[in-house]
Structure 1
Amino acid sequence: MPRTPAPAHTPARAVRTHAPIRTAVVAALLAPLAACSANSGPAGTADTGRAGKDGGDRPVTVTVTPTGRQASAGKPVEVTAAGGSLTSVTVTDAEGRALAGRLAPDGRTWVSDRKAVPGMAYAVTAATRTEGGAAGTARASFATAPADKVNKVDWRPGTGTTVGIAQPVSLVFDHPVENKAEVEKQLRITTSNPTEGSWGWMRDWSGRDRVDWRPKSYWKPGTEVTLNAALNGTDSGTGGWFVRDYTTTFTIGTQQIVEVDLDRHRLTLVRDGRTVRRIPVSGGTPGGDKRSWRGTAVLMAKEGTINMNSETVGLGDAYDKMVDYSMRLTWSGMYAHAAPWNARWFGNANRSSGCIGMSDADAAWFYGQVRPGDPFEITGEDTKGVVAPENGFGEWNLSWAEWQQRSALR
């Protein structure tokens, strides 16, 4: 993607440190965003001291990359020493935050753990030691070019929530992600107990790029889950740079599975392996576009009373009404909800426009029992097919091997 070009001739900044045997003198901080030198030498070179009459150690030359006022972001900060070693390195951004890094065992190099982010100024302080053992200090500064385009993320579930055992971690990006492997490397899931899982990429129902993390099998109740998306400074490609990190922490609630048998016109709530209640329902009308989906759908949200208009799901003017106790199962418009107008079909036949309808009383009770993330395992002979991974959270309809193949790091 287009980038603000760096100025011609932008070599790594070399900062030379002298540490004489008799006298140690520390270099002045280089002027912000520019290089100067105590001896007016080449740009990026500073003399930190002068040898005495009897001479002294040869200077340590410290080189910092990136360099300049419009340096490219997206790469770690690297500090190297020649003619001596580094004893410590501190890199601080313009907001006063230190950039953590690792010093090589031989003291010759230091590399930051994180990448330099777009539109940020950095100050570097390196403590050195000459081959003769004298200490010195070198300082430098640089700034990265601002992002010409920013990519943002919407994520689920929200921080502090308690969700069902089928809830994936889901990230949807504002702009296309071409560098999927590089982005996926920055995403880390930690859990309070050993949980095997994998990221999988897809095109969301909205048309945007999306990546979800799901366990190999349903979550264990009580598991605490944390997402750390260390994306700041990562280039997504033509979609732009990420300029912040994202994190969310949530908890897995009670083991609940909703079994929907469309052939028997019955919904069963199973909690911790025990049947809590069976509810007569009516699913989608057989033989056409009003059929329901089958497979595993995940409760996405409890939306309460909403207006449902059939034209928004491609069914013409079949209905336009306010519907109570609405529980969304897919982006394509399949819900479980109260449907008192269909009362004569509950437990007897499928006569809805694709949703799973029940009485007001049953819907009110059921709405109070379930939570987002609960799986709805739907069976039936005459359906539209299996819920697709991108249609809500349909990834549970893929085998574990199929899901793993969707990782950009496979």
Structure 2
Amino acid sequence: MRPLWTVLAGTLAAVLLLSGCGSPAPTERAPAGPVARVSFEPGPDARDVNPTAPVRVRVERGRLDEVELTNEDGKQVPGELAPDGRSWKATTELGYGKTYTWSGSATGDDGKQVSVEGSFTTLQPERTVRATINPTDGAEVGVAMPISVKFDEPVEDKAAVQRALTVQTSVPVEGAWAWLNDKQVDWRPKEYWPAHTRVSVSAKLYGVPYGGGAYGRADLTTDFTIGREQIVKAAVGTHRMVVVRDGQQVASYPASYGEENDPGRNTPNGTYIIMEKNPVEIMDNPRYGYRDVRKTWAARFSNHGEFIHENEENAAALGKVNNSHGCINLSAADAKAYYDSALIGDPVEVTGSASSMPPQYDVYDWLLSWDQWTAKSAL
């Protein structure tokens, strides 16, 4: 048997040999990567991006040297580099159904450069829907004029559309949007507009999902002005049409309203607006046996067929008898005077009639109470 001290000595020698004499072998380290980190919005390879979504590139621990965003045709998207060089954003909306590609570079705080690269694709709608807005730019309109946005197709997601609509006024005005049907949303004030109010409307409809695969085709804007306050007071039983301007009566014309004993010929109660003006209007009413009747100085106030117009053939009834087919008849001179003073959007208040107009024609905004109106909002 070997002595114990011999075994220990052998072990000690082995340890000395391993931990050895001299320096340890050098360890190799991988070179440090660039510290700059680039991020994108939308993310890399994103699909079905809404073209109105924010489009940005950012860098952490570095600065952007240059950034370009181009579509598949090589057209560059306008953009803006932040003053600190750490972000870039597109300054215009993108197109539907397009692929956009990033290019450029950033330099990190360590002096090392990294690439700005990647791509994403915007959504392709099943269809885009056209809209129009009224009043048009630069118009001067009456104090009852509603703002109307109409669509070529029915809108399913009315709330999404309504959130894209804004109204700004030069003086405070309480008002609300209401959907009159699936293709029309109107804004009207609770009371008549204050005279001389300036109004700006923005409809940011591009990129808005209407539902059913449809999206807004384009944004709309309009800037218009409310004119002086002029109101027609059409009290049927008085046989006169009174015009009140800025709170003062300026005219009282002998008139003939609709035949009171025939509901089909009444001038119905309600608050209307002047919708259009024509120096000559050709009128037809086959139910009552007339066609191609030419009347002058015609101001339409209802799509049911009511006008304020000249009717010299009915001169004997003016101021005495109500015998028209629903229109407000005036003499030629009075009809011309009123026609010249009227603005589209002026209110016409008919009272004292045997019947009232149902709220079903395309301009019935003022036939609804305020509670009825606000109940038609989608929000």
Paired AA for residue 32 in structure 2: G
- Inter-CA distance 280–363: structure 2 relative to 1 (3 Å threshold): same
Is the aligned partner of 1:231 residue 2:205?
A: yes
SS at match of 2:216: coil
- Inter-CA distance 178–399: structure 2 relative to 1 (3 Å threshold): same
Deviation by residue 1:287-321 (Cα, 9 ceiling, x = unmatched): 3211122111011111221211114xxx3534431
TM-score of the superposition, structure 2-length normalised? 0.78
Over the aligned positions, Cα root-mean-square deviation in angstroms equals 3.5
Deviation by residue 1:309-364 (Cα, 9 ceiling, x = unmatched): 114xxx35344311211111112211111112222221112211111111111101
Q: Which residue of 1 aligns with 2:163?
A: 185
Q: Which residue of 1 aligns with 2:15?
A: none
Is the aligned partner of 1:199 residue 2:177?
A: yes
Deviation by residue 1:111-161 (Cα, 9 ceiling, x = unmatched): 989875424454556876868797755243434354332211132111111
Q: Which residue of 2 aligns with 1:265?
A: 239
Within-5 A mapping of 1:131-142: 136=114, 138-142=116-120
Q: Greater helix percent: which structure? A: 2
The separation in 2 between residues aligned to 1:335 and 1:145, in whole angstroms, is 48
The separation in 2 between residues aligned to 1:63 and 1:407, in whole angstroms, is 38
Q: CA deviation at 1:399?
A: 2.6
- Inter-CA distance 148–328: structure 2 relative to 1 (3 Å threshold): same
Q: Which residue of 1 aligns with 2:39?
A: 62
Q: CA deviation at 1:238?
A: 3.1
CA contact (8 A) 2:150 2:184 kept: yes
User: How many residues are paired up?
Assistant: 345
Q: CA deviation at 1:402?
A: 2.5
Paired AA for residue 331 in structure 1: N
CA contact (8 A) 2:36 2:106 kept: no
Is the aligned partner of 1:360 residue 2:319?
A: no
Paired AA for residue 56 in structure 1: G
Within-5 A mapping of 1:263-342: 263-286=237-260, 287-311=262-286, 315=287, 317-342=289-314
Q: Which entry has the higher C-alpha Rg, 1 or 2?
A: 2
TM-score of the superposition, structure 1-length normalised? 0.73
Q: Which residue of 2 aligns with 1:408?
A: 378
The separation in 2 between residues aligned to 1:395 and 1:171, in whole angstroms, is 13
Q: Which residue of 2 aligns with 1:163?
A: 141
The separation in 2 between residues aligned to 1:78 and 1:256, in whole angstroms, is 49
SS at match of 2:211: coil
Unaligned runs of 5+ in 2: 1-28
Q: CA deviation at 1:239?
A: 7.4
SS at match of 1:250: strand
Q: CA deviation at 1:264?
A: 1.0
Unaligned runs of 5+ in 1: 1-51
Paired AA for residue 201 in structure 2: L
